[in-house]
Structure 1
Amino acid sequence: MFILKLLLKNVFRHKLRTSLTLVGLVVAICAFGLLRTIVGAWYAGVEGSSSTRLVTRSAISLTFALPLNYGQRLKAVEGVSGISWSNWFGGVYITERNFFPQFAVEPSSYLALYPEYRLKDAERLAFLRDRQGIIVGRKLANKYGWAVGDQIPLRGTIYPGTWTFNLRGIWDGAEAKTDENHMLMHWAYLNETIRKLYPKRADAVGVYILGINDPQNAALISQRVDALFKNSLAETLTETESAFQLSFVSMSETILVAINAVSLIIVVIIMAVMANTMTMTARERLAEYATLKALGFPPAFVVRLLFGESLLIALIGGGIGLALTLPLAAGFASAVGSLFPSFRVTGLTMALQLLAALIVGVVAAAWPAWKMSRIDIVQGLRHVA
């Protein structure tokens, strides 16, 4: 208890310097945590993917569609337990700023492959019966204040015209990482309209989703699927759902590397600031440390004082920074809307924030502690602070 009181008194002996150091540490820990959360949110789609689902798309590019008649042949592939399909709709809700993913799907088979979408039975049935029906995730509904029964107008970009849909259900994710920020509609309704307006674009599928029972056979089943359509007019590329999601993340890999680098640089900068603070502190108290040694206190006691003071500052700043990260992350998530499927500060991120603060505290005190443990008592007593 005596040591703690002594440390607290020493820490706030120079209130302005300590306060400025704490502010810098808080900002650094907050920024580190927020940047780590952004990187984690970028990979949320990968983490939320299932090992029992494969995605089959055009081998050329996602912008090239696959024929609808591929579905029957895919069902016959050994190892495939179920199939569904989807098209990217790309509509605009009121203004271009209101971006969120929209997929036209085959409802019954699609929902069977995505059991993590928890939908009430009555809402599921209403969606299946209404060709103009849609369902959305809870976060998306909350963002725009939608309720079951609302009519949602979308202005088509890929498929021109104004499309009006009936909101028939709102799903909740089975886990925190489950995406609740997108919309599902009927592929058949979209296809019927396209057949009337643009017959050549009808009966086309953006991607097929394949259900498999044994994730260990994912590579083998993927090879079987792609071999089935080899040398056809529309060759396929089949991969696990996580690999499919990673293909999108890889497009921004350079940005993610830069964000990770910045988060580490921030910690290094505050480490240098903290080390300077502790060095100034040790220099000012040179005579005090020499007096302690003259009274018989061992060098280890001086070392413990400096490390204790540095760690106390680091823990206070790290704790405040950690506490502020949560509301900052919530505000950031609200600002970016549905850009990230899931945006939350994980336990790992919080642990890394505290670890970073402790490392800063230890490293900052290492040099001055070593110097003070080796001071000459006579020279120290002559020192004028």
Structure 2
Amino acid sequence: MKKLAKLLCVGAILCYFAQTNAYAQKPSWVDNPGIYSSENFVGVGVAKDSKADKARAKAEKKAVAGIEKILKNKYPKKEIKSSVSSIRIESYWQDPMTKYYYVLALLPIEAIDKNYAAQKKADKARSSAMSALKMLNAQTADPDVAVIKVDDDVTDSESGSGDMDVEAAEVEQPAETKVEIKKETTTVSSVASVATSSNMADGSTDFANKSFGSFKWSDQDQNSKYSLLGDGYLTVNVVSDETWDPKEGNKRAPRVETVDVKGSFTAIAKVKADWSKYRVGFGICAHSGKQNIISKVFYNGSYVYLEGYANDIDLPRTEKHVEPVKGFVYMKLVRSAYSWTAYYSSIEDDWVEIANFETEFPETCNVGVVFLNDEGTTSAMKLEFLKVTQ
């Protein structure tokens, strides 16, 4: 009997350590859920309860709510409602020390947006050229990943069982996603003036005097119309299907630009659009033939980007979720030799860096503002000024 008791005791101890060891194998997605984001919208829920099944149920609810939060910033309510049934619970893990329950939920991007899915797959292929550290940071900071932690409350409306009009809970993003506001000494005057540099590419628009200054209007398909009323703005009625695909040689979006800008430059623009429209925005672009780099604001004024195409390859694409734009927004694109940096701001001199990368690019290029509309109806935009300095 004593031997049997000892054997049972040893067996129990071995089972305990085996179970503990299994729990201790932390999955990689717990620290970096972005590894799934090239093809999925990702939600991670974290919860705790004295009963494991309740903790798991709470975490599942949070994970699903995280995905719905992402979708609400990107798609109409009807599309969201029809796609939530495709959300699947991919994996679970319980921390043996804290007893927190982690749940990973995924929604295939193509279940709601095939075009965006193709774009994300291209981003994944391009990221293979990035260093391991940059790739990890890009994955972790992906705006298609949401983490809802223990202290974040989730109501029924946020977990798919209520009306989609109810605002979702705040989603705590990984620390890496926070953008840093950098003060710069450069200030932008809303009163246009000719730059003092001797380079002929330097200059600014002068819409108050109904002049493009050193810039010109370009609209390949001539569908969008502009007007100069002397009120200090260029008003552009941008028709639908005015888009800018970095890889597409035929650039049909209307723009105001200056040609033959040689070498380094700083381009700044101030634009107002109807940000209640989902697929409306604008960007500052540098292009030479098929090669181009664009920094833009899009999707209800809630997302900013830096992307491009040069030397027959896609350049590293950055997407950041920002506080929704209201009224005018400033965009800035800076070229310094091989280095490109993009900024945006809702206040004149409080610049937020979007991204930076280095690439070979033609020394001479056209630089200007591109007006974008894929909403289905015509949308009016106002350009207060465009300024290029060297």
Q: Report the TM-score when normalising by structure 2.
A: 0.22
Structure holding more strand per residue: 2
Larger radius of gyration: 1
Higher relative contact order (CA 8 A, sep 6+): 1
Structure holding more helix per residue: 1
Q: Report the TM-score when normalising by structure 1.
A: 0.22
